[in-house]
Chain A
Amino acid sequence: MINILTTALHFIGITIFSAALGLFFMGIARKIVARIQKRYGPPIYQPYLDVIKLFGKKAITHGFIFDFGTIMAFGGVIATLFFVPLGAWTLYSLNGTVVLIIYLLAIASLGMAMGTVGSGNPQASIGISRALTQMLGYELPYLVILFGLIYKYQTSSVFGLAQAQAGGIMNWNLFTYPVATVLAFVILIGMTGKKPFDAMIAPSEIGSGPVVESGGKYLGMMMLQKSITIIVELALFVNLFLGGADNILSFSIKMLIVWILATMVGSLFPRFKIEEGVKFFWKWPLIIAIIQVLFIIY
């Protein structure tokens, strides 16, 4: 009984921590983008205020499917979070968590797709179809790289892959396989929906895509979902290529550095059309990833 309670508390603690950290990262990203555009920018705590405001607003529902889709998106990403080791917080170190995480991340997107179907807005449908198409684009090279790493270290748990890089900075995949790391970084920009690959959000074109019809509390929930998604994707990157960390503080700092770099790169580029984005992912990252994997195997 006590065991179950502590596990439940652990789950809740991790969820709250990740949501708070993700919102903090979003605030930092806004500030960085503002400074690159020669603006002062909103305060770093602005996303927290936004979430409080959004949960204080009234909200209109578009039926049961809309509610269910929003909750499925939020729940899917929380379920993903439990399989990602955050520093010393490792709940599961089973084999196969790498593949599981990739699958579970798709659940969040499918939940969003369900919500957009419920809202019946054509712009939302365009947005989510773009998001799923883009997912098809970046997952292929990412999985090729991951299978290379799995073959090399003979383990398919994220925890195991992070452990395999232990023992000094030169053991990190960043230094042993720099090409794969750069590729994964480009893919990370696509995963987080940053500037060259943000065709699914595109505020001036399709009105912020999947969240067109979400107002008030629904938008607040989507914002929390986004913040946890950022943490999951960054944590996966840090575990796979920067050797993880043994405590949460240094882990957060590593995530923050990756996030700042991704934001800076993202704020420099204009937007790809969706077919250009997918073509890009299936051309150079895929070719280079296959060459890298052949290099690892032989």
Chain B
Amino acid sequence: MKEKFKRGKWKEFLDWAQNKSLSMLHYCTGCGAIELPPTMTSRYDMSRFGIGQAATPRQADLLLVTGYLSTKTLRRIIYTYEQMQEPKFVVGFGSCTINGGMYWDSYNTIKQLDKYLPVELYIAGCMPRPEAILDGFLELKQKIDSGEAKGYEEYEENIEFYHKNQEEVLGEVQRTQ
């Protein structure tokens, strides 16, 4: 309640609009990509909650990391994330993004996504079914509406931490932010 008072009426209004209209970037890694077509099309139809697709990172506000991330893909994910316009949110899919999942001892995948990017929400499962994805999205919408989803601010505040972790696995990273 106190947090809400701090936001101010205008910010509250913008957050409300943001939670009603989310454009999802269709960048798919790993096996979670398979779960998204049924979530988008006629069986589960997430557009009724105001979640649509965006074609490019510039137009998107929701970045889905759908599965394991090899270090090669992580570099692209970071470029993509830094090209997106604020406010922007990251959702991690499945156990691979939480603790490595079945790739826990792999030499070229990362184990924990939130060391590299600020994750708003994880959807557990291997892989999560469309119902679980929709449930996760509804929770994300609630978090945005109440002003709790502030991952992009966290990223800017702790930018050294994130940059250090990223450079540990990737070496040099070309920066746009």
A interface with B by C-beta (< 8 Å): 30, 34, 37-43, 46, 49-50, 52-53, 56-60, 203-204, 207-208, 211-216, 219
Contact = CB atoms under 8 A, between A and B. Distances in A.
A164 B32 CA distance: 60
A59 B45 CA distance: 29
Chain B interface residue bracket vs A = 20 to 34
A214 B59 contact: yes
B15 to A, nearest CB: 9
Given A42-B48, A43-B50, A57-B87, A215 B58 contact: yes
B18 A53 contact: yes
A121 B91 CA distance: 28
Contacts, number: 78
B55 A213 contact: no
A41 B48 contact: yes
Contacts of A40: 45, 47-48
B45 A219 contact: no
A56 B50 contact: no
Contacts of B108: none
A49 B22 CA distance: 10
Contacts of A34: 45, 47
Given A57-B86, A60-B85, A211 B17 contact: no
A59 to B, nearest CB: 6
B42 interface: yes
A220 to B, nearest CB: 10
Contacts of B165: none
B21 A49 contact: yes
A60 B58 contact: yes
B61 A57 contact: yes
